[in-house]
Structures are given as C-alpha cells and as structure tokens.
Amino acid sequence: MVIYLSGEVETAPKLDELTPRQIVMELDKYVVGQAAAKRAVAVALRNRIRRQKLPADMAQEVMPKNILMIGPTGVGKTEIARRLARLSNSPFLKVEASKYTEVGYVGRDVESMIRDLVEIAVDMVRAEKTEEVQEKAEQVAEDRVLDLLLPLPGRKPAGRTTPPSGTEELEDPLDAVPDDMLLTSGDGGADQTQRTREKLRQKLRDGKLDHRIVEIEVRERNFPTLEIITNQGVEEMDIKMQESFTNLFGGGRTKKRKVRVDEALDYLIQEEEQRLVDMDQVTRIAMERVEQSGMIFLDEIDKIAGRESGHGPDVSREGVQRDLLPIIEGTTVSTRYGMVRTDHILFVAAGAFHVSKPSEMIPEMQGRFPIRVELDPLTVEDFKRILTEPKNSLIKQYTALLDTEGVTLEFDQEAIDLLAQFAFSVNEQTENIGARRLHTILEKVLEEISFEAPDLREKLQVIDGHYVRSRLADIVRNQDLSRYIL
Ligand SMILES: Nc1ncnc2c1ncn2[C@@H]1O[C@H](COP(=O)(O)OP(=O)(O)OP(=O)(O)O)[C@@H](O)[C@H]1O
Ligand SMILES: [Mg+2]
C-alpha cells in the first residue's frame, strides 16, 4: 500500500541534542527578531544538558538560571515559549501567574503547576513507550482477530466453548474463508490450517474482512462522576451510583460487544498496548524527567508584581509571589505519583511590565530570575516578515484556509507593505498591541472574500495594494473608527 503524504514529512529535531545556535535557528523559523531572548533560552536549555553530564555531586549544585522576559504586549514572548514547548522533549508547562490571584485559589494551589507538569510528563513518556510496543501490539491483536475468525486446530474446540483470551467467534469462522481456501480433510490438516490462516491474514491486512462482525470482550468504561452531574431523577441517579460503585470497587467489568473486524482490531491493539506498557516504569521515568529537565513558563508575571490593590476578593499578589518562591527555589511537592523535587526545574517568566516594574516584585522573587532579557518593539519591517516568513505565518494560514474552498489567494509585495504599514500606524494611533494588530487588520481585509469564498466565480483572488487600500484606508484614517474595528 502506498500512502501519499501531502507536503514534506516533518522530522522534529530533538531540542536536547541541539546546540544553542541550532535552537535559535529552530526558533527563527517561527519567531521574527528577538535575538536576545532566543539566545537566552537557548543557553539556559543547553546548560541543563551540560549539567546532566557532570558528576552527580557537582550537578546537584548547579541551579538553573531562570529567565525573565520583559517586553511590550504582542511581540513574541508567549510565542517563543510555545515554540520551545513544541521543540522540547522535556516536560513543559505554560501557566498564567495571574490565575493564582483569582477568586477561589488559595496559596497551596500554586503547587498544582508541579502536579500538572508531572501529568504532562507521564503522558509524554506513556506515548513514547506506547510507540515502542506498537508493532508488537499490532501483531498480537492481529493474531487475536484471526483466532476469532478461524481458530487454530489446537485452540479450536476451546475457542468454541470458552473463548481464547477473552474473545469468541460469533459466526461460523469458516464463513470468513472463501470456498477455495477451505480445508480439505485428511493428512496435513494442521499445515493446511496454518496456510489458510496465513491467507486469511493477508485478506485481513488488505482490509477485505473489515466489514465482518466479530464478538469481543470490551472493558466497560465508567465515569462515576458523570451521572452525578446530570440532571436526572433521584431514583435513576441512585441506580447509576450503585453501578458506579460496583465498577469502582468490583474492578474492571467486561461485556461482550459485536463489532466490525476493523474496530475489533483497533480495540485489541489499544488493549495490547496498555498491557505491554509498564506504567510503573513510565511514572518513574516521568518523575525523573520532571526533576531533571522540567520547564515551566510563567506568563503574565507582571500581573502579580506591583502595588497591592488593597481590597477586593482577589488573593494578594504578594501572597502569590511568596507561594511561588519555594517552588522556584527548590522544594518538594507531593503528587499522585510521589514526591517531586523542584530544584532543577527551569522557570522562564514573562511580562509586559508596562504598569508595574520588575523592581516591584518582592526582592526574593527578583533574585530568583537572574537572567533578564528585553524584547524589542516590532517595526514595520518586522511586521512584513511576520506576515510572510514564519512557517505558519498569517498569510500562509489564510491562503490554506481559502484553498479548502478552491480559492487561490495571492498577495503582491505592495499589499504586504501596506498591511504592515497600516498595522504599525494603527498601533501608534490607538493602542500598541504588537503583532496581534496584524490579525485584526488581515481579518478586516479578507472579510469579504472569506464570506463569499464558496460562491466566488473567480477562483484566483489577487490581493494587491489597491485592494488593501480600498478595504482599509477609510478606517485607518478615522481614529475613532479604527479603535473599534481594528
Ligand atoms: N516576533 C514575532 N514573530 C512572529 N510572530 C509574532 C512575533 N511577535 C508576535 N507574534 C505573533 O503575535 C501574536 C501575539 O504574540 P505573543 O502571544 O507572543 O505576545 P506576547 O509577547 O506574549 O504578549 P503579551 O504580553 O500580551 O502576552 C502571536 O500570534 C504571534 O504569532
Ligand atoms: Mg503572552
């Protein structure tokens, strides 16, 4: 079978093997400019690899150099973090520091970020391990499906009465076998059966048996909390609750289900994967990875700096800073998989700091972020590049979206120049929201085409300077209007 892939196949580079220069080059594919910030994160990441190569007693002493990214809104702070997360094979979590000041959060909840990070690591390692056993799981599942369709002689009688490994054939298995493949009685029967089985395997692989129905045993899924939320009669709820409790305490119940062969195969592959993956090992590796190379991106850190608002239901910002301190400094947090040391987790914090200043954070907190990098405000030239260069730039996104309607979008250079200039001047005239302005501008320019796309006769739509001007000029000239529309 040939699988045609559209576009190139991405072979994601593993961040941990990259030199700082290569990390910066990877980030360059998505984020325009901001060289200082990229260099800082690249060095911090490389330092952790270096640390892990040191003798244990020395490695213990080397603390991560946490980074504070400072820059106006919409210039790429979060984007750098987002890209690192994709690149990184380290557990990575992004949280908004401001969320801990919201009503309903108490100090202890700050630790939940570590628990979340552990969950991410567990998922990550589980996925890796599942990938490792996948081939094996597919083989076993295939054999189990073949057992359902055509039991081997040895297992055949057993298969009829007590199903082999939790499965049972539903129809006469020989129905699945074309007449010319049916066994002829006599000597060499076992051999013959084996050959028939292999022919059947080939048919299965070719998808020719997909529509057949077999019966398999599936584990019942139970979501005990689900019923409690639903708005049903009390009586029914009681019954459901009882069921839930039997499920909870009576272990995994199974039930028989008739499914198509292809579904059975999928289900059994998953079941085998779960059986083959050693979850103890997964959690052990995951915890180790969190402690050695975990990374937390603390966004909106400026929202917890600055003067106290004094009253109101919000948790005090200073309080949140104090709760964060031990975690950043190194403490032990208990999670459902065990205790985690946070000493070597790398923290990257980011904030616009246009109202508050880093110096308004409590002194201990300032000390926890020894590396400061400033991100530059974006220029018209940056905007042009942001529109076109990144791997998934806005223009590429819109082009791809409209392509699904059979409409080809083409931007000429003048249009790009104008879009960048308009974005820049609206930022100057109203509020500077950085590259986010490009989103609003482009949305406005393409509004008409987006709406009409399915009905357009002319499938090639060229966006030139004239078109951009016609869509935007009036709005940009009128400050009040642009405040609302762009
Ligand atoms: N330097 C850049 N290169 C490419 N795209 C950028 C750049 N800066 C911003 N963008 C785009 O603009 C949008 C907003 O950027 P981002 O989320 O990084 O802002 P931010 O710096 O975190 O701002 P805030 O302080 O408001 O959180 C994103 O969609 C991002 O793709
Ligand atoms: Mg941000």
Q: Does any domain span residue 428? A: yes
**DSSP-derived 3-state class of residue 103:** coil
Is residue 189's pLDDT more than 60? yes
294 lines ligand 1 (CB under 6 A): no
Which of these three, 316, 343, 374, is where a domain ends?
Answer: 374
Best mutation site among 78, 355, 438 for ligand 1 pocket (most ligand atoms within 8 Å of CB) = 78
CA of 436 to the centre of ligand 2 (A): 11
Distance separating alpha carbons of residues 17 and 23, to the nearest angstrom: 9
**Whether residues 140 and 58 fall in one domain:** no
pLDDT digits (tens, 9 = 90+) for 347-374: 999 998 887 888 888 888 888 898 999 9
| pLDDT bucket at 309, cuts 50 / 70 / 90 | low
Shortest-distance ligand to the CA of residue 379: 1
CA of 434 to the centre of ligand 1 (A): 7
390 lines ligand 1 (CB under 6 A): yes
Residue closest by Cα to atom 13 of ligand 1: 436
pLDDT at position 227, please? 39
Is residue 43's pLDDT more than 60? yes
**Whether residues 264 and 315 fall in one domain:** no
Q: Does any domain span residue 10? A: no
**Whether residues 119 and 212 fall in one domain:** no
Best mutation site among 75, 384, 394 for ligand 1 pocket (most ligand atoms within 8 Å of CB) = 75
pLDDT at position 226, please? 40
Q: Does any domain span residue 9? A: no
Is residue 100's pLDDT more than 90? no
Q: Does any domain span residue 454? A: yes
SS3 string, 327-380, reads: HHHCCEEEECCEEEECCCCEEEEEECCCCCCHHHCCHHHHHCCCEEEECCCCCH
| pLDDT bucket at 178, cuts 50 / 70 / 90 | low
The CATH number that applies at residue 460 is 1.10.8.60
**Amino acid occupying residue 306:** G
Per-chain mean pLDDT for the chain: 81
Distance separating alpha carbons of residues 43 and 41, to the nearest angstrom: 5
pTM: 0.75
Number of domains in the chain: 3
| pLDDT bucket at 105, cuts 50 / 70 / 90 | low
CA of 308 to the centre of ligand 2 (A): 22
Distance separating alpha carbons of residues 419 and 383, to the nearest angstrom: 8
**Whether residues 90 and 136 fall in one domain:** no
**Whether residues 309 and 394 fall in one domain:** no
**Whether residues 234 and 317 fall in one domain:** no
Contact 263, 207 (CB under 8 A): no
Q: Does any domain span residue 272? A: yes
**Whether residues 189 and 326 fall in one domain:** no
**Whether residues 133 and 269 fall in one domain:** yes
Percent of the chain with pLDDT over 90: 42
Mean pLDDT of 83-96: 86
CA of 77 to the centre of ligand 1 (A): 6
**Whether residues 151 and 242 fall in one domain:** yes
**Whether residues 111 and 162 fall in one domain:** no
Which of these three, 323, 356, 374, is where a domain ends?
Answer: 374
41 lines ligand 1 (CB under 6 A): no
476 lines ligand 1 (CB under 6 A): no
Beta bridge partners of 338: 335
What is the distance of C-alpha 284 from the center of its chain?
A: 22
Q: Does any domain span residue 6? A: no
pLDDT digits (tens, 9 = 90+) for 255-295: 888 888 889 999 999 999 999 999 999 999 999 999 998 99
pLDDT at position 8, please? 39
Q: Does any domain span residue 171? A: yes
**Amino acid occupying residue 281:** Q
Q: Does any domain span residue 474? A: yes
| pLDDT bucket at 9, cuts 50 / 70 / 90 | very low
Mean pLDDT of 99-110: 68
Which of these three, 237, 263, 280, is where a domain ends?
Answer: 280
Atom of ligand 1 nearest to the CA of 299: 27
- What domain range is 143 assigned to? 128-280
Q: How many residues would you count in the chain? A: 486
What is the distance of C-alpha 303 from the center of its chain?
A: 26
Atom of ligand 1 nearest to the CA of 82: 18
pLDDT digits (tens, 9 = 90+) for 122-140: 999 999 999 999 999 999 9
| pLDDT bucket at 149, cuts 50 / 70 / 90 | confident
CA of 78 to the centre of ligand 1 (A): 6
**Whether residues 136 and 272 fall in one domain:** yes
Contact 202, 193 (CB under 8 A): no
Percent of the chain with pLDDT over 70: 77
**Whether residues 118 and 134 fall in one domain:** no
